[in-house]
Amino acid sequence: MSNSTAATEAGSLDPRTPVLVGVGQSSERIEDPGYRRRSPVDLAADAAREALGDTGADPGAIAAAIDTVAGVRQFEISTPGASAPLGRSSNYPRSVARRVGASPARAILEVAGGQGPQHLVNELAAAIAAGTCQAALVFGSEAISTAQHLAKAEDRPDFTEEIDGDLEDRGYGLKGLSSRHLATHGLTDAPSQYALFDNARRARLGLTRENYARAMGELFAPFTKVAAANPHASAPVERTAAELVEVTEKNRLIAAPYTRYIVARDKVNQGAAVLLTSVAAARRLGIPQDKWVFLHGHADLRERDLMHRQDLSRGPASVAAARHALEVAGVTVDDLATIDLYSCFPIPVFNICDGLGLDPADPRGLTLTGGLPFFGGAGNNYSMHAIAETVHRLRALPGAFGLVGANGGTMSKYSVGVYSTTPAEWRADRSADLQAEIDAMDAPGQALQADGWATIETWTVKYHRNGARTGIVIGRLDADGRRFIAKAAADDTELLDRLSTGDPAGSRVYARSFGTGNRVTVTDTRMDELFPPRPAVLRDDYEHVLVRRDGHLLEITINRPDVRNSLHPQANEELDEVFDAYFADPDLWVAILTGAGDKAFSAGNDLVYSASGKPMWVPKNGFAGLTSRRRLPKPVIAAVNGYAMGGGCEIALACHLVVADTTARFALSEVKVGLVAGAGGLIRLPRTVPPKIAHDMILTGRRLTAEEALHYGLVNRVVNAGTALEGARRLAAEILDGSPTSVRLSLEVMTETAGLADAVDAIEASSPTLDELMTTEDAVEGLTAFAQKRRPNWRNR
């Protein structure tokens, strides 16, 4: 299209049509001469000034016209508790705006994720088209290399800034991107998660490890050539395909199949910015039309959460987003002159190539920057650089089209833009309709606790600097096809070797669940060798628990009075072991659980231990070995002396009976420390006390006295201060006076019918338990003793 034709078409555009009018990039490397130790705000401001100057108009006038600024989150503000060793701005978008002389009415801090730059362009272009925005400056930056380089320097700079002004902080946006369950099994880093996808793809294609490694090297070798010529690249070194994947001392394995050279590089000092305006604003500000680039197509889609995806070798949402953006633009893949695909690892690039029919060796190339492993990750902001490069290329190729694909999370969020200098009115997309289709896709069932024979679906091995290996497996249970995640035991060399060589996908393994997560190995026999079954018998001594046996009564005391009997993993494990032994011993008929000292029954989770950074876990049977047991087949009495707070209250709720002394206080206090009562309190409390009282306790942390707890049905009996254990013993004696068989089977019937809302339905429900009762020795003994007017001699059988 000729410049005169484009000008004619541009003259007929709706004045609200959005247009990109300026782009800028900045960078510095710590080893370069003239290194200036720029902060993230400085780098973004440098790029923003370049974007203003790139318009060809008066930068001051343009800065004054900006009504919206939007910042992409740095890594140091992308997760709760993330470190900023040199300090940070309290309002990053307005810090940058202030440096370039802008005073916007609106400031946005976007959610974390590499989709952010393209998503913000899509969103703000739509706002301009709707008339709610006239000029928007979008930017992002990272100074991770500087932060790490200077963190311990005596003359380190202070990047702290306290900036006033409104901020639309959208939060971290991490929902669905991780979970405690995945983290428990080692999926805490991007390389190991993406490695699962690449290994699943290799298995689907039937390629050997060597052939797949060669394909990854051949994919990324052209990227290194682009990076070598890019003045902003953090690693401007051209490498061969073989060099990228050959394991050497410098190019060690990170997470199979990835070597260090082919994973995203986040140690960068880079910034980039994009300026969007309406056509009317561009004309008013005197921005030449040869600077204008239009957003012809766009889409934003989200993939299902990792464990809910049908096929871990594919990312259908990413492909659908790319296809739809091309559809909105009215072009095909063949019409593209430039392409930049988010390339943190090979799989996001392979995925789009597979879905769009692109040859990974396409002569047009798949990156304009050099890609994340070589140009540099720039945190969440990589694709802002890709947009900037696209704008420059398309201005030099009037009428040509370029595509930018931006990926966030674990191939979770994908935003796409299709650009051209060819004038085009704003076109709405159908991302919401497509998202509904993706959300409705079938998902495999998930087994949080995996037990039994299974088949490996995908896997990776993480290689640590100390030589240790962590094997991670996603598999399907043979019994019902449910998907699960598991780790290999650290000393399971047989399985780790299998995962490190050959083709593990499709091979059979054996899984078993523990409080520390699921484990998997080669056979059930090997599982027993690695994790010998724990005998369900009482030991002579415990470190955190006292145990006293008195005939048919078992007394269990949490013995951590110095921390108000709060529980850490080791104490929980001991309690779990004790209760296993209690429920398995036919000569133990009633158990009492109490806390040492007179200050607390239990203050719940040991928060000091939790904050120490040491490994945290809870037994499969839950807090204190009780809160997650599906059934407690024999009576457990809580003797509450002092505080039953948080998890301590949840333990009491899980017990059948509660005896409290007058000093007792009950509370679910988790909201006071930013947590929730996740060990059953949110479920059991509203079923125990009136709902309004439960809501009050859960939402405010309100404490109930012993008398209040008795009134509302949380407690069975209240006794004098310091006599909770004696009161519990008296209650236990009353239970022991009856048939242990009757007690045990009564609990079983109550458990069986707990889910039946209608009393008549519950009464009429056929229960084999009642039939069992009539054949027990205790039933015969009880009736005989009654007739003979003597005390029964109970046998518990």
**CA atoms of 709 and 714, how far apart (whole Å):** 5
Q: Give the ranges where 170-233 is alpha helix by DSSP (H).
A: 180-184, 190-205, 209-228
pLDDT digits (tens, 9 = 90+) for 99-132: 999 999 999 999 999 999 999 999 999 999 999 9
Helix (H, G, I), strand (E, B) or coil at 475: strand
- What one-letter code names the amino acid at 468? A
Q: What is the mean pLDDT of residues 516-541?
A: 94
- List, by residue number, the catalytic residues: 650, 670
Q: What's the token pair of residue 597?
A: 């000292």
Task: Report the pLDDT value the prediction gives residue 693, as an integer from 0 to 100.
Answer: 96
Q: What's the token pair of residue 550?
A: 């008195």
**Angle made by CA atoms 113, 114, 117, in degrees to the nearest 5:** 105
Instruction: Report how far apart, in Å, the C-alpha atoms of 466 and of each of 103, 462, 717 are.
Output: 51, 12, 57
Query: What are the b/e assignments for 520-551, b being 16+ CB within 10 Å?
Result: bbbeeebbeebeeeeeeebeeebebbebeeee
Give the percent of the chain with pLDDT over 70.
96
Whether the predicted pLDDT of 757 surpasses 70 = no
pLDDT digits (tens, 9 = 90+) for 36-74: 999 999 999 999 999 999 999 999 999 999 999 999 999
Q: What is the mean pLDDT of residues 651-657?
A: 96
pLDDT digits (tens, 9 = 90+) for 599-609: 999 998 888 88
**CA atoms of 546 and 595, how far apart (whole Å):** 9
Q: What's the token pair of residue 639?
A: 């003797």
Q: What is the mean pLDDT of residues 251-261?
A: 97
**CA atoms of 91 and 94, how far apart (whole Å):** 6
Q: What's the token pair of residue 642?
A: 């002092």
* Residue 320 · residue 174 · CB < 8 Å: no
Average pLDDT, the chain: 93
Whether the predicted pLDDT of 406 surpasses 50 = yes
Task: Report the pLDDT value the prediction gives residue 785, as an integer from 0 to 100.
Answer: 78
Q: What are phi and psi of 694, to 5 degrees?
A: -60, -45
Helix (H, G, I), strand (E, B) or coil at 438: helix
Whether the predicted pLDDT of 767 surpasses 70 = no
Task: Report the pLDDT value the prediction gives residue 309, as an integer from 0 to 100.
Answer: 96
Task: Report the pLDDT value the prediction gives residue 753, as an integer from 0 to 100.
Answer: 75
Nearest residue to 642 via CA among 682, 597, 689, 586: 597
**Band of pLDDT at residue 789, cut at 50, 70 and 90:** confident
Task: Report the pLDDT value the prediction gives residue 470, as an integer from 0 to 100.
Answer: 96
Residues sharing a CB contact under 8 Å with residue 358, sequence separation 6 or more, in sequence order: 333, 339, 352, 366
Per domain, the residue ranges of the chain are 3-181+262-439, 452-530, 545-736, 740-787
Whether the predicted pLDDT of 580 surpasses 80 = yes
Percent helix / strand / coil, the chain, rounded to 5: 40, 20, 40
Q: What's the token pair of residue 208?
A: 């050997």
Whether the predicted pLDDT of 141 surpasses 70 = yes
Whether the predicted pLDDT of 614 surpasses 70 = yes
- The fold of 3-181+262-439 is Peroxisomal Thiolase; Chain A, domain 1 (3.40.47)
**Band of pLDDT at residue 5, cut at 50, 70 and 90:** very low
- Range of lowest pLDDT (8-12, 414-418, 437-441, 581-585): 8-12
Domains 452-530 and 545-736 share a fold: no
Q: What is the mean pLDDT of residues 321-348?
A: 98
**Band of pLDDT at residue 4, cut at 50, 70 and 90:** very low
* Residue 345 · residue 255 · CB < 8 Å: no
Q: What is the mean pLDDT of residues 570-594?
A: 96
Task: Report the pLDDT value the prediction gives residue 1, as an integer from 0 to 100.
Answer: 46
Thinking of the domain 452-530, which architecture would CATH place it in? Beta Barrel (2.40)
Domain 545-736 has CATH 3.90.226.10: yes
Residues sharing a CB contact under 8 Å with residue 528, sequence separation 6 or more, in sequence order: none
Helix (H, G, I), strand (E, B) or coil at 757: coil
Residues sharing a CB contact under 8 Å with residue 518, sequence separation 6 or more, in sequence order: 185, 449, 450, 484, 485, 486, 487, 511, 512
